[in-house]
Structure 1
Amino acid sequence: MRTITIATRGLVAAVLLATAAGCGPGGTPTPLDPTAAARQRVIDTADLDCLDDRGPVVAITDAEQDMTAAIEVGTGDTAVMLLHQVDGTACQWYAFALILAQHGYRAIAPDITSRDAVDVAGAGIAHLRAAGAKRVFVIGASRGGTIALAAAAAASPPVDGVIALSAPTVYDADALTAVEKLDVPTILIAGDLDGSFAEHAKELHDLSIAKHKKLIIRSSVSHGVTLLTGDVEDTVMAFLTDPAATADARDPA
């Protein structure tokens, strides 16, 4: 399991101020913390053009000190990790993350462009638990949906539910293997006019061992995050409140 640390701009500024102004015991100059400086560089250089400032940006650090930027908003003891598509960044989820925050949830959207995206997602889950989350959900779009299923299957303790929108069966992770051991409430969503993604969703649903699972296929060309409108968004919000009952409920469409 990857571990993470998180630093805000204020914390880094405090470290820099102490270095510039202060000294250690006996008047010895305090050296700059290279980890804090590296973390700040990750925050400052993150490709997140949806933000006016770096306030919501955090740096996730694994056990090997490799760092990844993420957007984090909201508070609360129910948290949601949002995993973006291959053609986007964490900004794809920023608007929905703000909606979640308004509803009292904590939301984090990490950058998963690297091929070790499952490890990054696992570190995000660990961070949310360390931040006090008692319930953790994972939602991913397209490749992010594949990563969401794989990361959730590897999580210990288990997450509380997973939603995958237009997830391929395999894309830098093997969702087919993941759903065969992922026994948490699961919803798989796709548009039947969106290439073969509806077939991927059906295959994953059939293989899933989850006691509570739902397959939602819409007559739509929409893909990934663009499916999250209307009754689909309503289902997602209901899932965060009662995942088992929502996954068991009959699809209204």
Structure 2
Amino acid sequence: MPLFLTAALPLLAGCADDGTDGKAVPAPVSSAGPDDFGCLSPEQARTGSVTFPAADGQQVEAYTTGTGSTALVLAHQADGDVCQWVPDATRLAKDGYRVVAVNSAGSEVAELTAAVAYVRARGAGKVLLIGASKGGTAALSAAGSITPAVDAVVSLSAPTAYGGMDASTVVPRLTMPVLYMAAHLDTAFADSTRQLSRATGRAPVNDLWIVSGARHGVSMLGDETNFARVEAFLKKYGR
């Protein structure tokens, strides 16, 4: 190959002919599509993958589905991500709720506070928080500082404290209905759930369900009886 042609090849790399006058033009650069979180269908990602800012400057990623004037903000477990909530989010959306499952990557309280602001800006008249395990600790902690207050909270297998959050110091101040649920054989979390419920002194409703089995957090909702209990609570205080 002639030397001058070999030297010219790097200059042409990444370029394309425009097909009219032989001049080289930059090749198109592909743009990333909406985040599928590793579990969403292309349609779910296109219509439901959202990002919104938190007060501390972080960008919060979430999956949203459904419509309606009542919004449910979901917080996942430490061993999961937004994908953990997608099946239940789909089911709750069919019940008529607007659902936002937050993909936690930082300060959970700031993320949930931002999610509540996000749904309220889009017309939600009522907002309820649902958290599983450390997400339950986050939901209870956030409920103590969000203004105006959320309408109700559901805590599934929450520890009293996690990662700098101490829900046991917050729940005595809560003034909205709270539902606590944990499994009897999920011993440490059943104990922490009882402790949190006992400390919740001002809430007008303080429902405590210690259910059978050893399921933890989100997995408890795989039992239809447990799901029905949560569903009834949401309907009563979210409609």
* TM-score, structure 1 normalization: 0.76
Of 59, 78, 88 in structure 1, the residue corresponding to residue 70 of structure 2 is 78
Following superposition, the deviation at residue 237 of structure 1 comes to 1.1
Q: Do the aligned partners of 1:86 and 1:113 also contact (CA within 8 Å) in 2?
A: no
> When you count strand as a share of all residues, which structure comes out higher?
2
Following superposition, the deviation at residue 91 of structure 1 comes to 0.8
Cα distance between partner residues in 2 of 1:197 and 1:87:
15
Q: Which stretch has the larger CA shift, 157-166 or 53-62? A: 53-62
Q: Do the aligned partners of 2:61 and 2:104 also contact (CA within 8 Å) in 1?
A: no
Q: Do the aligned partners of 1:186 and 1:212 also contact (CA within 8 Å) in 2?
A: yes
* TM-score, structure 2 normalization: 0.80
* Residue 145 (str. 1) matches residue 136 (str. 2): yes
Residue 52 of structure 1 is matched in structure 2 by 41
* Number of corresponding residues: 202
Following superposition, the deviation at residue 72 of structure 1 comes to 0.3
Of 101, 114, 127 in structure 1, the residue corresponding to residue 118 of structure 2 is 127
Divergent runs of 4+, >6 A: none
Cα distance between partner residues in 1 of 2:169 and 2:56:
27
* Unmatched segments (≥5 aa) in structure 2: 1-30
Deviations 1:34-56 (A, max 9, x none): xxxxxx97x74x47111122221
Deviations 1:27-83 (A, max 9, x none): xxxxxxxxxxxxx97x74x47111122221000212454212100001100110011
Percentage identity across paired residues of the two chains: 39
Of 71, 74, 79 in structure 2, the residue corresponding to residue 87 of structure 1 is 79
Question: How big is the alpha-carbon RMSD for the aligned residues of Structure 1 and Structure 2?
Answer: 1.7
The secondary structure found in structure 2 opposite 1:154 is coil
Larger Rg: 2
Change in Cα spacing, 1:168 to 1:59, as seen in structure 2 (3 Å) is same
The secondary structure found in structure 1 opposite 2:207 is strand
Cα distance between partner residues in 2 of 1:149 and 1:74:
24
Following superposition, the deviation at residue 112 of structure 1 comes to 1.4
* Unmatched segments (≥5 aa) in structure 1: 1-39, 245-253
Deviations 1:174-226 (A, max 9, x none): 11011011111001100111131111011000000212111100121100001
Of 197, 202, 207 in structure 1, the residue corresponding to residue 199 of structure 2 is 207
